[in-house]
Amino acid sequence: MQRKIIHIDMDCFYAAVEMRDNPSLRDKPIAVGGQASGRGVIATCNYQARAFGVRSAMPTHKAQQLCPDLVLVPHRMEVYKAVSQQIHAIFRQYTELVEPLSLDEAFLDVTGKPHCQGSATRMAEAIRADIYAATGLTASAGVAPNKFLAKVASDENKPNGQMVVAPEQAAEFAARLPLKRIPGVGPKTSERLQRLGLSCGKDVLALTAVELEQMLGKFGPVLWQRCQGLDERPVEPSRIRKSVGVETTLAKDLPTVDACLAQLQTLVPELRRRLAKSQRSIKGQTVKLKFSDFELTTVSQQSQQLNPGLFEALLTIAFNRGGGRAVRLVGIQVELADARTLKQLTLPL
């Protein structure tokens, strides 16, 4: 049976909740995020702010430079979580196969479901209408035969829009898709592909999967499949968490490796707490640094137990990559062992 996948993505979710609860904000450029004085970052913004070039993950001070009239609103995470619970309850009225990606987006597998006479297109329309009736917020949707195409399609007609990619349209749609629109193609990969003369799906299909693997590593064959409109990943209601981490953006840049090591020590207790809560073993450790010019670097190594000394060694390597640049963010992370594998290993013989 041909799969029917819906990707639902709320429109500027945090900002939309703030505009709903405070109508005086509706005609103003607003952003939810931290204060510039505290090295804050924008979590999300409304479409009026986006018209000025403001974007998620942008430093607040830069956003205020682009949009001097920007209204900065602090997080109300408990409110966003409560609204998210309403939205996900609506999803589960249509299918038990719901894979949450965040508070405001999810994949739904509605294959063979009886709602709306089995039409995934009509189900997506009904879900969006139900969300608006329950919360007063709009959502956009993508409908397609797989997760990759559904996610891309949900972004085509934002805000409050919907796009359908039928199975017979999948290959053509993917072939003309700009590569930077494909999930997994970040800014650096996009630049590299451009240098290779690859800008859209059909350019990639002129190469083989082997050639792409030589160029891009493991992601090469994945990209080759995506450019054909293929994606066999199932919707997974119970996604297994792959890592646990903690990081901090600093009020003042750290100029030395010793200062970074001192900051690292303050993060370890919280990481231990989160790891204990997950009740999982680990298989690796990672240190992440962001330098004063916002360049990010990570260093990883395999490890089967939490070792603060290993974090220190990895941080030293990461710091030395900066060539003397100060550090504005320090983060540590552990990669978790597969819970299913561990369960199999502990079965009695």
pLDDT in tens, 12-25: 999 999 999 999 99
Percent of the chain with pLDDT over 90: 79
Domain assignments of the chain as residue spans, ordered by start: 1-165, 171-226, 243-344
pLDDT in tens, 110-122: 999 999 999 999 9
Q: Are strands 327-336 and 282-291 parallel, antiparallel or unpaired?
A: antiparallel
pLDDT in tens, 28-83: 999 998 887 767 889 999 999 999 999 998 889 999 999 999 999 999 999 999 99
pLDDT at residue 337, as a whole number: 87
Given a cut of 80, whether residue 339 has pLDDT beyond it is no
pLDDT in tens, 35-48: 877 678 899 999 99
104 annotated to bind ligand: yes
Of 96, 99, 105, 312, catalytic = 105
Q: CA nearest 85: which of 73, 74, 98?
A: 98
Do residues 159 and 10 make contact, with C-beta atoms less than 8 angstroms apart?
no
pLDDT in tens, 233-268: 999 997 777 899 999 988 889 999 999 999 999 999
Q: Kindly report the pTM of this predicted structure.
A: 0.78
Q: Exposure string (b/e) for 262-298, b if CB count within 10 Å is 16 or more? A: ebbeebeeebeeebeeeebbbbbbbbbbbbeeeeebe
Residue 50: both structure tokens together:
């986006």
- 3.30.1490.100, 3.30.160.100, 3.90.1640.10, 2.60.40.10: CATH of 243-344: 3.30.1490.100
pLDDT band at 349 (very low <50, low <70, confident <90, very high): very low
pLDDT at residue 347, as a whole number: 35
Given a cut of 50, whether residue 313 has pLDDT beyond it is yes
pLDDT at residue 151, as a whole number: 97
Inter-helix orientation angle 308-320/257-278, to 10°? 140
Q: Can you tell me whether residue 17 is helix, strand or coil?
A: helix
Give 136-198 as a DSSP string. Answer: S--EEEEEESSHHHHHHHHTTT-SS-EEE--GGGHHHHHHTSBGGGSTT--HHHHHHHHHTT-
pLDDT in tens, 284-310: 999 999 999 889 999 999 999 999 999
203 annotated to bind ligand: no
pLDDT at residue 171, as a whole number: 96
- 1.10.150.20, 3.10.50.40, 3.50.50.60, 3.90.700.10: CATH of 171-226: 1.10.150.20
Task: Give residues with Cβ within 8 angstroms of 253, minimum separation 6.
Answer: 292, 326, 327, 328
Given a cut of 90, whether residue 343 has pLDDT beyond it is no
Given a cut of 70, whether residue 341 has pLDDT beyond it is no
Q: What is the mean pLDDT of residues 125-140?
A: 98
Given a cut of 90, whether residue 340 has pLDDT beyond it is no
Average pLDDT over all residues of the chain: 92
Q: Which residues, in sequence order, are bridge partners of residue 106?
A: 8, 100
Given a cut of 90, whether residue 278 has pLDDT beyond it is no
Q: What is the mean pLDDT of residues 270-278?
A: 89
Active site residue 335: no
User: In CATH terms, is domain 1-165 a member of 3.30.565.10?
Assistant: no
pLDDT band at 1 (very low <50, low <70, confident <90, very high): confident
pLDDT at residue 165, as a whole number: 97
pLDDT at residue 346, as a whole number: 36
pLDDT at residue 285, as a whole number: 96
pLDDT at residue 54, as a whole number: 96
